[in-house]
C-alpha cells in the first residue's frame, strides 16, 4: 500500500512522512479515533515505510522488507493484541523481553499495539516503565478509540495523532467503482468512517437495509391510527439495542421531509425515496418541532427513562405531526 492510496487523514500522513524524511521519528505514537478510521492500516503502512530500504515519500513495495511487511511476515514487526481481546501483564512482559533485544533483520523494531486502552492496570504500569526508558531502535504505535481510557502518563509520552472523519467527497471518490446512488448513501450513513462506507457498499453493513425497514415502519405509523403503536411495541422491544440507529434514521427522514417542504430537494439524503418524501411532506405540519423532539427522546433513553414510555411518546408525537 501507499500513503496516496489511503483516503483522508492528510495531516497525519504528511506528519508521518516528514518524520521519516527528516530523521525525526519518535519512539512512541498514539493513533486515536473510532473503529473503522483506518488506524491499523496506517500503522502498518508507517511500519512498512520505516523498514523500507528505498523510501522516498512512499514505501517502494519491492524491497525484501516491504514484501515481508505486506505479508505480515517481518521478524521485526510485532503486533500486540491482534485479536483485540485485552492486554495482560504477561503480554507486556513479553514485549519488554523482546524490545531490549537487537532487531533480527532491520535497523529497528516496530510494535503495533491494538486497543491499547484494554491494558490491565498492571500491564499499563509495566508498559509505562518501558516508555520512560525506551530503547533507541524501537518504535511503538499504540491504537485506541479514546486516549482518556489510557493512563495520562502514557499519553504524555506519545506523539498523538487524532484521526478525523473523512469528508463525504473523499469517501465518494474512494467509492467511484460502485453505484453512484449507493455510494452517496454510504458516504452519508458512514459518518465519515471510510471502512464503514466500504462495508455498506459491499453489503457487509446492513444500515441501508435497516433504513428501508424504518422508512416502511414510519410510513405505517403515519397512515394508521393509534392501534399501530401497540402493534409495533414488540418490534421496538426487540430492537432496543439498535434504538440509537433507528432514531437517527427516522430523524434523517424527518429532516428530508422538511427539505422537500421548503423546495430544497438538492439537500435530501434519501433521494431514492423522493416520491414518498413528497407524500409525507404534504401531511407534515409546517411548524413541526419533531426533530428536536426526537433528540430529546434519544437523550431520555440514554438517561434510562422508561424505554416503553419513551417509544410510545415518540410514536404518538409522529402521528400527531402528520395528522
Report the distance separating Cα 284 and Cα 320, nearest Å: 9
From the list 43, 56, 55, 53, the residue with the least C-alpha distance to 13 is: 43
* Cell numbers at 272, concatenated: 431514492
Query: Is the distance from CB of 130 to CB of 99 less than 8 angstroms?
Result: yes
Q: Could you list the beta-strand ranges (E) of 96-234.
A: 109-113, 138-144, 159-162
The whole-model pTM stands at: 0.72
- Per-residue confidence (pLDDT) for residue 282, from 0 to 100: 93
Give residue-wise pLDDT tens across range 79-105: 998 887 889 999 999 999 899 889 999
Per the document, the length of the chain is: 323
Does residue 133 register a pLDDT over 90?
no
Q: Per 3-state DSSP, what percentage of the chain is helix, strand, and coil (rounded to 5)?
A: 55, 10, 35
Q: How far is CA 133 from CA 33, 80, 100, 117, in A?
A: 27, 20, 10, 21
Report the distance separating Cα 311 and Cα 28, nearest Å: 47
Phi, psi of 198 (to 5 degrees): -60, -40
Find out if CATH 3.40.50.300 is the number for domain 3-162: yes
For the chain, the structural domain boundaries read 3-162, 168-201, 207-320
Report the distance separating Cα 37 and Cα 238, nearest Å: 30
- Per-residue confidence (pLDDT) for residue 129, from 0 to 100: 85
Phi, psi of 184 (to 5 degrees): -65, -40
Phi, psi of 151 (to 5 degrees): -60, 130
- Per-residue confidence (pLDDT) for residue 155, from 0 to 100: 94
Report the distance separating Cα 146 and Cα 160, nearest Å: 11
- Per-residue confidence (pLDDT) for residue 136, from 0 to 100: 85
Signed CA dihedral, 94, 95, 96, 101: sign only: positive
Q: How far is CA 273 from CA 147, 244, 247, 257, in A?
A: 40, 22, 18, 10
Query: Is the distance from CB of 32 to CB of 147 less than 8 angstroms?
Result: yes
- Per-residue confidence (pLDDT) for residue 154, from 0 to 100: 93
Give residue-wise pLDDT tens across range 247-279: 999 999 999 999 999 999 989 999 999 999 999
Find the mean pLDDT for residues 49-59. 95
Q: How far is CA 44 from CA 118, 134, 143, 171, in A?
A: 20, 21, 12, 21
* Buried-state track 298-313, b at ≥16 Cβ within 10 A, e below 16: bebbeeeeeeeebbbb
The H-or-E segment that residue 34 falls in is none
- Per-residue confidence (pLDDT) for residue 174, from 0 to 100: 86
Report the distance separating Cα 115 and Cα 229, nearest Å: 42
From the list 110, 27, 115, the residue with the least C-alpha distance to 75 is: 110
Report the distance separating Cα 295 and Cα 301, nearest Å: 10
> At 67, is the secondary structure helix, strand, or coil?
helix
> At 79, is the secondary structure helix, strand, or coil?
strand
Average pLDDT for the chain:
91
In the sheet that holds 159-162, the strands lie side by side as 77-80, 109-113, 138-144, 28-32, 159-162
- Using 50, 70 and 90 to split pLDDT, how confident is the model at 287? confident
Amino acid at each position: 500500500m501507499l500513503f496516496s492510496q489511503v483516503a483522508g487523514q492528510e495531516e497525519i500522513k504528511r506528519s508521518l512522512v516528514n518524520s521519516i524524511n527528516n530523521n525525526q521519528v519518535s519512539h512512541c505514537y498514539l493513533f486515536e479515533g473510532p473503529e473503522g478510521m483506518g488506524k491499523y492500516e496506517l500503522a502498518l503502512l508507517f511500519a512498512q515505510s520505516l523498514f523500507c530500504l528505498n523510501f522516498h515519500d512512499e514505501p517502494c513495495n519491492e524491497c525484501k522488507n516491504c514484501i515481508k511487511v505486506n505479508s505480515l511476515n517481518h521478524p521485526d514487526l510485532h503486533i500486540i493484541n491482534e485479536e483485540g481481546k485485552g492486554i495482560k501483564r504477561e503480554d507486556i512482559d513479553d514485549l519488554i523481553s523482546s524490545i531490549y533485544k537487537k532487531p533480527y533483520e532491520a535497523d529497528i523494531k516496530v510494535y503495533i499495539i491494538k486497543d491499547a486502552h484494554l491494558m490491565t492496570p498492571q500491564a499499563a504500569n509495566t508498559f509505562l516503565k518501558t516508555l520512560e526508558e525506551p530503547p533507541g531502535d524501537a518504535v511503538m504505535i499504540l491504537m485506541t478509540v479514546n486516549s482518556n481510557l489510557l493512563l495520562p502518563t502514557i499519553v504524555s509520552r506519545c506523539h498523538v495523532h487524532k484521526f478525523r472523519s473523512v469528508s463525504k467527497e473523499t469517501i465518494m471518490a474512494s467509492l467511484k467503482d460502485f453505484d453512484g446512488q449507493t455510494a452517496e448513501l454510504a458516504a452519508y450513513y458512514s459518518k465519515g468512517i471510510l471502512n464503514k462506507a466500504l462495508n455498506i457498499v459491499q453489503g457487509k453493513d446492513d444500515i441501508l437495509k435497516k433504513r428501508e425497514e424504518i422508512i416502511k415502519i414510519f410510513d405505517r405509523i403515519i397512515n394508521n391510527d393509534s392501534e399501530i403503536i401497540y402493534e409495533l411495541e414488540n418490534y421496538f422491544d426487540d430492537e432496543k439495542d439498535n434504538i440509537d440507529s433507528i432514531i437517527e434514521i427516522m430523524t434523517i427522514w424527518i429532516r428530508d421531509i422538511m427539505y422537500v417542504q421548503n423546495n430544497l430537494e438538492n439537500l435530501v439524503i434519501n433521494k431514492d425515496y423522493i416520491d414518498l418524501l413528497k407524500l409525507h411532506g404534504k401531511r407534515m405540519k409546517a411548524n413541526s418541532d419533531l426533530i428536536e423532539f426526537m433528540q430529546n427522546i434519544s437523550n431520555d433513553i440514554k438517561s434510562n427513562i422508561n424505554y416503553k414510555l419513551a417509544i410510545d411518546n415518540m410514536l404518538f408525537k409522529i402521528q400527531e405531526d402528520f395528522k
